[in-house]
Amino acid sequence: MIIKKGKEMNLISTLKMTALSTALLLVGCSSSTTTTSSTKSIPSVSSNAVYSKPRTLDNFNDYVQFLKGKAATEGVSLSVLNAQNNIQYMQKAVDLDRAQAGRSKRNSDQPQLPNPNGTTNYLNKVLTQNKVDIAEERYWEVQAPLQQASQRYGVQQEYILALWGMESSFGHYQGSYDVLSALATLAFDGRREALFSKEFVNAMKMLERDHIQRHRMLGSWAGAMGQTQFMPSAFLNYAADGNNDGVKDIWTNQFDAFASIANYLHTVGWDNKLPWGVEVTLNQPLDLSLSGIEKNKARSLSDWQSKGVTLASFSQQEQDKLTALSQADLWLVRPDKEVGRAFLVSNNYRTILDWNKSNYFGVSIGMFADRIKMATGL
């Protein structure tokens, strides 16, 4: 019985060793498989390479790999690239982008007649009294981060607040679309492939540099993110750490959001001694070629006045702004061409157009800032 029990013990020990060896082998295989997956080869693709396959949905995943190849060429690691799965085609992004293009190109076969009420209609839509009231209310709530950003970067508080309010409705609307999916989809669609493929690569760079985790990288259908609605390239160039915690958080941190807005304007040439501009009346016909923000179209205030350009309103605020502009280079802007409203603007207005190239947008930010200043007593 003793000998038999010893044999049983030896058999059990042998079985245990065999099971342990098998388990270790399986763990080793699993580990090897995981490592291979996380470092799956992605061929580098030149930044100016053109995707040659048909733009059909069954090629979308292949196109995503093509974009990842471009990101790999610009230094994004394989581990980061391979971790970004579930990049989906978003039909809604394409529909919204095409609708936007349709509005700008509608009836392109026939020149559109200028709308004398174009600027007014736009302002009535985006610059409501309710929005001004909310801006005044929020001003008192966010004074600390707002003043800090203003002083650090030399940008008046009212302009930071105006951009914050207009871009994300004071931080409330930031978008809920997966940014990588939106950018890949719009690049694949092809209408503005150069823009969106570059933004896709820059979004990957954000993940590589650990600015944000993928599950939090949400934004508009066009890929704009956070309270500032920065595209990835704008984030990489202008996002700032306003509270010195080592993080540039434009999503949840107002110190960082305001610092980023102010840093953008400061970097592209803002002058805090100047207002954006004033609305004017043209008392004599002026050739449309004189208007525009090209550098060679700048003139002095006295030169414009000699051509019959005068203030549209003689309120104290407008007269004070005109005095501040008296020694500056000024440009004549006519968003609705010969038939609509006109504005004399400073280089600060041109800086706003660096943010968004629409004259309607530029005028709305300037006027919003004026109304915030009046409402808050800044």
12-45 pLDDT, tens digit per residue, is 344 344 444 443 333 333 333 333 445 578 999 9
324-366 pLDDT, tens digit per residue, is 999 999 999 999 998 999 999 999 999 999 999 999 999 999 9
Question: Whats the size of the chain, residue-wise?
Answer: 378
Amino acid 112: pLDDT: 67
Q: What are the residues whose beta carbons fall under 8 Å from the beta carbon of 142, sequence distance 6 or more?
A: 161, 254, 258
Q: What are the residues whose beta carbons fall under 8 Å from the beta carbon of 32, sequence distance 6 or more?
A: none
List alpha helices for 39-88, DSSP H.
60-73, 78-83
Tell me the C-alpha distance between 117 and 122, whole Å. Answer: 8
Amino acid 12: pLDDT: 39
Give yes or no for a contact between 71 and 204, defined as CB atoms under 8 angstroms apart: yes
36-80 pLDDT, tens digit per residue, is 445 578 999 998 999 999 999 999 999 999 999 999 999 999 999
Amino acid 25: pLDDT: 37
Amino acid 7: pLDDT: 38
Strands 342-345 and 218-219: unpaired
147-186 pLDDT, tens digit per residue, is 999 999 999 999 999 999 999 999 999 999 999 999 999 9
User: What is the CB neighbour count within 10 angstroms for residue 26?
Assistant: 10
Closest CA to 69 of 82, 57, 86, 60: 82
215-241 pLDDT, tens digit per residue, is 999 999 999 999 999 999 999 999 999
Four-residue CA torsion sign, 191, 193, 194, 196: positive
Amino acid 24: pLDDT: 37
Amino acid 105: pLDDT: 54
CA dihedral 19, 23, 28, 32 (to 10 degrees): 130
Q: 133 in helix, strand or coil?
A: helix
DSSP summary character for residue 51: -
DSSP summary character for residue 112: P
Strands 342-345 and 331-333: antiparallel
Tell me the C-alpha distance between 313 and 73, whole Å. Answer: 55
pTM for the complete prediction?
A: 0.86
User: Measured in Å, how far apart are the chain's first and last C-alpha atoms?
Assistant: 100
95-150 pLDDT, tens digit per residue, is 999 998 776 555 455 566 778 899 999 999 999 999 999 999 999 999 999 999 99
